[in-house]
Amino acid sequence: MPKMKNHAGAKKRIKITKNGKIKWKRVGLKHLLTPMSAKKGRALKKAKVIGPETTTAKLIKTYLPYK
């Protein structure tokens, strides 16, 4: 059976912390920022962090078998 590989896009964007939480940068801060409220802009600057036992985390871990 062939060796499993990490998903190339996921390994560039997603980090797994020491405690198993999953962290990534939010999208939407490159262009077309004028109509965006300042509150939303500040919120998008924060990294998204989710716990290790959520459904999304389990899905992401299938993309990264060696992390």
Domain count, the chain: 1
CATH of the domain at 59: 4.10.410.60
Distance CA 22, CA 51 (A): 7
Q: Is there a domain that residue 3 lies in?
A: no
Range(s) of the domain holding residue 31: 8-63
Token pair, residue 19, equals 């405690």
Q: Is there a domain that residue 39 lies in?
A: yes
The CA-based angle 9-16-3, given to 5 degrees, is: 55
Name the average pLDDT for the chain. 94
Residue pLDDT, tens place only, 32-42: 999 999 999 99
Rounded average pLDDT over 18-25: 94
Q: What is the pLDDT of residue 1?
A: 87
Residue pLDDT, tens place only, 37-65: 999 999 999 999 999 999 999 999 999 99
Residue 57 · residue 51 · CB < 8 Å: yes
Q: Is there a domain that residue 2 lies in?
A: no
Rounded average pLDDT over 18-30: 94
